[in-house]
Chain A
Amino acid sequence: MAARTLTIDGRLVSARAGESILEAARDAGIHIPTLCYLEGLSEMGACRLCLVEVTGSNRLLPACLTPVSEGMEVHTATERLREHRRAIVELLFAERNHVCAVCVASGNCELQNLAIRVGMTHVRYDYLNPVCAVDISHPQFGIDHNRCVLCARCVRACDEVEGVHTWDIAGRGVNARVITDLGVPWGEAESCTSCGKCLLACPTGAIFRRGTSVAELERDPKRIALIVASRQERW
């Protein structure tokens, strides 16, 4: 496969023809923030965090979807891009109810990491405080729409990897929501195979395994006695 040479942030980088700017940058150890991108899934260019400047183009281009070309000059962290990224992350925090302190994903959340990475110290916009549902009708998993960022990684993982397409998006604008089947509770979604790939793909605490949140933790100390008793019977 033919190779291409380009510069990213002043560094000469070699890449395979057909590779995206994002892949080339990651190979070279140059970090470009992403959210809707997930290796293994199709790219959709929705979060706009990986936008970069390319000399000769007056538009900002999504690094995940823009193929490299010979001699291309890419800038990934100009002042303008940094300002835009911080604003986009702030818009996400203002959109739903992201309360890290009570979230199952706190400390292990891509949105939280992004906020730290882009230097978000506070949110300049009005919190929209929408009323969002929590669906725990599925026996193993739950979805908390308060924490969803509409990256559609669950939709694509379910469709492209599991091959099921239980997830999709309904509604539009800020009223858009991920849904299971035709908008039925997850537990009633007949197409769901309970494979858990959506859980793996979710960047925040929106999709979670039931029993992992603080309030749900159940202890069953009596099981120790049960285990000991059953061992005794067998011996």
Chain B
Amino acid sequence: MDLAELHATAERERARRKAIRVLCCTSSGCQASRSLELFHQLEAAVTATGQDEAVEVASVGCMGFCGQGPMVRVEPADLLFERVRPEQAAEIIAALAGEPCSVERGDPNHPFFARQVHVVRRNGGFIDPERIEEYIAAGGYEALYRVLHDFTPAEVIQEITRSGLRGRGGAGYPTGLKWATVAKSPGERKFVVCNGDEGDPGAFMDRSILESDPHLVLEGMAIAAYAVGAHEGYIFVRGEYPLAIQRLTRAINQARKLGLLGSQIFETAFDFKVEIRVGAGAFVCGEETALIASIEGRRSQPRPRPPYPAEKGLWGFPTLINNVETFANIAPIIEHGADWYASIGTEKSTGTKVFALTGKVRNTGLIEVPMGMTLREIVEDLGGGSPDGTPVKAVQTGGPSGGCIPARLFDTPVDYESLAAAGSIMGSGGMVVMDAHTSMVQIAQFYMAFCMDESCGKCVPCRVGTVQMYRLLSKVVAGAATPADLEQLEQLCRLVRETSLCGLGQSAPNPVLSTLRYFREEYEALLREEAAAGANGTP
């Protein structure tokens, strides 16, 4: 494969397309609402009405407005249909010929869509993720070609550094700096690992990217491998994402067949092979040292850092670990340049971020917005506010490691520093909206139950401390706790945060601490008078 062949493939694909394309979302969310059946019904309806010559039905990835799924888009007319049932397929196809149609219509200019900026989700809902030709027709793999022919590895790293891209897994470590560290770490072998163990409750950004545009992630990984000097890569995907695994597997095979992965990519000396590793249901695998242990075939338990994986990772070799969304940003940065990327977002948090907007909000789904947009814009403009008029009380970001930000701070811009200052974190992109009916104590209890179940059990404070905190929170919820219990809860928060081995334990108290900070009165309202509570005795 060379550039001419790449362009020829794109040209063939464009020539193949029919005049009207009916795009049907077949991502996990819409599939759960029978979109696969809908897809087949649409195909049957096209054939039944004899429109095979002019109309094609394509299975595409996520369009984002998941709460209104299944979604169908008709191109080039830019018609949008929402909540489509398989029985309505014939009606939609008939509507193409100008017949009246009662299917719920969506507005492509709705603020939910109009306020978004698509960088990593640019192909989502437009291309069939199971056909590499469609990705190539959308300009795919050109960035990899350019990197291999026009860039030195150092220049790639420089470009990524200049873009200001920071890790999208949640902590926001500068991506260029991480790449430079791996590039400079000596090692006979090096590895590139994509962390697709997305596990925060309510978060599905990475799943959507992997399901909707798997080649974007593969291309980003290949560029990263070239930059740091690696020839082997792993994508770690959680086992709960079967469709993502299926589509990734297919994508890897297709790319290998076309010579875009494997040996001598684009007829250069650069080799890069990628394998998938499937998680077995442990949240802690998202922690990079636990993830490494899992890929190596060991029990997924974190180990203390340093040494960081950039120096000593997989089997002791320098290893670059980035999140799915981080890798998905790479090809666009190479295509459009670091300056373009840095012009999106804020000075310290450049680019866009994908969020899974859920909870007590009218419009739920996936959004990609420029960094620096305020929480208010996200919740009220894109999200459309609360569905039944009950005032919105808070937004939870960062999942079990994050915190709740109260409505009075909704003018906080969404960037790494501002969210941290408000007592939460950017996190991987979960954003759960809560209204006045939500008990913040129960929210804290929910997240603590999650951490307690997901603690690997290696270090004592996380293993036992989370259980004790959960018990105290349950006691508060049941109205049986005393002020002394609350004090003990706060002590435990400090202990677990300061002494736990890995990020899971260190951040497990965050949902409690942030709700105590902003909603302490909800805790206090549930307390009962101090009773004669004594010690539990000696062993």
What is the interface of chain A, defined by CB distance below 8 A to chain B? 44-48, 51, 60, 62, 65, 80, 84, 87-88, 91-95, 98-100, 115, 121-128, 149-150, 168-169, 171-176
Contacts and interface: CB of A to CB of B under 8 A. Distances in A.
Closest 4 interchain pairs by CB? Answer: A176-B457, A122-B535, A91-B464, A173-B455
A175 B456 CA distance: 9
Contacts of B536: 94, 122-127
Given A45-B501, A176-B463, 20 more contacts: A48-B459, A48-B499, A87-B492, A91-B460, A92-B460, A94-B536, A99-B539, A115-B539, A125-B468, A150-B457, A150-B458, A169-B299, A172-B454, A172-B455, A173-B452, A173-B453, A173-B455, A173-B463, A174-B452, A174-B464
A2 B495 CA distance: 37
B459 A91 contact: no
A173 B463 CA distance: 5
Contacts of B498: 60, 80, 84
A95 B464 contact: yes
28 contacts: A45-B501, A46-B459, A46-B501, A48-B460, A48-B501, A62-B304, A80-B498, A84-B499, A87-B495, A88-B495, A88-B499, A92-B460, A93-B539, A95-B463, A95-B464, A98-B539, A99-B539, A122-B538, A126-B468, A126-B536, A128-B467, A149-B460, A169-B299, A172-B282, A172-B453, A173-B456, A173-B457, A174-B457
B491 interface: yes
A73 B466 CA distance: 32
Nearest to A176: B457
Contacts, number: 107
Nearest to B299: A169
A204 to B, nearest CB: 12
B537 interface: yes
A100 B459 contact: no
Contacts of B461: 48, 88, 91
Contact of B467 (A65, A171, A173): A173
Contacts of B495: 84, 87-88
Nearest to A98: B539
**Interface residues of B toward A: which range?**
35 or more
Contacts of B466: 173
Nearest to A111: B539
Contacts of A80: 498
A86 B284 CA distance: 27
Interface in B498-513: 498-501
B261 to A, nearest CB: 35
A15 B456 CA distance: 34
B471 interface: yes
A152 B466 CA distance: 20
Interface in B285-335: 299, 303-304
Interface in B522-539: 535-539
Contact of A173 (B454, B468, B492, B501): B454
B418 interface: no
Contact of A123 (B452, B453, B537): B537
B199 interface: no
B538 A88 contact: no
B47 interface: no
A168 B453 CA distance: 20
A196 B328 CA distance: 52
Contacts of A175: 457
Given A93-B539, A122-B535, A173-B466, A47 B460 contact: yes
